[in-house]
Amino acid sequence: MRTRIAPTPSGYLHVGNVFSFILTWIRARQYGIQILLRIDDADRLRKRPEYLDDIFRVLEWLQLDYDIGPSSVDDFEKNWSQIHRSSLYENLLNKLFTHQDVFACFCSRSQINSVHDETQCACMNQSFDQHLPHAWKINTKEHSISIPDVLAGHLQIPLSPFIIRQKNSEASYQVSSLADDIHFEISHIFRGEDLLESTGRQLFLDQIIGPSSFTKTHFYHHALVTGNDGGKLSKSAGAQRQSLMKQFSKNEIMQAFGRWMNLPEPYPNNISDWIEWMPRQVL
């Protein structure tokens, strides 16, 4: 059994990231599940050395150890960056390319954002032109998919067409994440409920390529950590402008995590004590 902690070096880690990592770590240690540190650095434009360094520093600070993955920034760049697994993503894209519902999308980012109903994409019937830059999209035909969730049971999620390859020829997050989860044989995924759609999209793609180990994955979609305005925390919205270590003590993080989980006080200060203290849950 194996799970993963999958941060992105596109901003400093925020409380929402860390709470998800702590929850993943506790459940993994309670049930003897291996932990993989998988840093998703496919977005080269937003990747920064200081953000990458912050991931290692915060995990060490919180004593969130892991069983598989890079030991340092240098080790990550040399051996674990997603650039070293580009052939996996290319192979998956090649399998998807032959599917009859994959089409060329020439829409700009602003055009995509302006279309609220993606089923109305003007490119739906476009053919591929190797001489022009375009994304690959897959038509889900308003398909819905059932997601097996540990907490909520089976959730029916509607799917609209989505990008599988970007205009720069790079695999989309949905493709790279699925390929990595299959490659690393991930059996348990703990993620925020805002990623339910991503889970559905990845299950949809997995069905197309021929069901893999991903089909049997156990999913746990937890509640989001929200800001003072009630909205979810995100790096793109500037949720974190400096390292958490400069804003909170480790004890403050653990106390806030306990309140987020709606557990009775007092909470353990040391992460290792949570393994026995936190009520177990069938996974």
Give residue-wise pLDDT tens across range 134-186.
899 999 987 899 999 998 888 999 998 999 999 999 999 999 999 999 999 99
For the stretch 80-101, pLDDT in tens is: 999 999 999 999 999 998 888 8
Instruction: Flag whether 28 is in a domain.
Output: yes
List the domain range (segments joined by +) for residue 229.
2-99+145-157+177-277
Q: Is the pLDDT of residue 239 over 60?
A: no
Residue 142 has what pLDDT?
72
Q: Is the pLDDT of residue 261 over 80?
A: yes
Instruction: Flag whether 165 is in a domain.
Output: no
Instruction: Flag whether 77 is in a domain.
Output: yes
As a whole number, the mean pLDDT across the chain is 89
Instruction: Flag whether 124 is in a domain.
Output: no
Instruction: Flag whether 110 is in a domain.
Output: no
Q: Is 180 exposed, middle or buried (0-12, 13-18, 19+ CB in 10 A)?
A: buried
Mean pLDDT in residue range 206-217: 90
Asked if 52 and 73 count as a contact pair (C-beta separation under 8 A), the reply is yes
What's the CA gap between 200 and 159, in Å, rounded? 7
Count of CA atoms in the C-beta half-sphere (13 A) of 264: 2
Instruction: Flag whether 112 is in a domain.
Output: no
pTM of full prediction above 0.85:
yes
Buried b (16+ CB within 10 A) or exposed e, 81-111: bbeebeebbbebbeebeeeeebbbbebeeee
Residue 79 has what pLDDT?
98
What's the CA gap between 283 and 219, in Å, rounded? 9
Q: Is the pLDDT of residue 230 over 60?
A: no
Instruction: Flag whether 167 is in a domain.
Output: no
Residue 238 has what pLDDT?
45
The CATH number linked to 236 is: 3.40.50.620
In this predicted model, which residue has the larger pLDDT, 86 or 130? 86
Q: What percentage of the chain has pLDDT greater than the value 70?
A: 89
Residue 115 has what pLDDT?
52
Mean pLDDT in residue range 222-238: 60
Instruction: Flag whether 226 is in a domain.
Output: yes
Task: Give me the number of domains the chain comprises.
Answer: 1
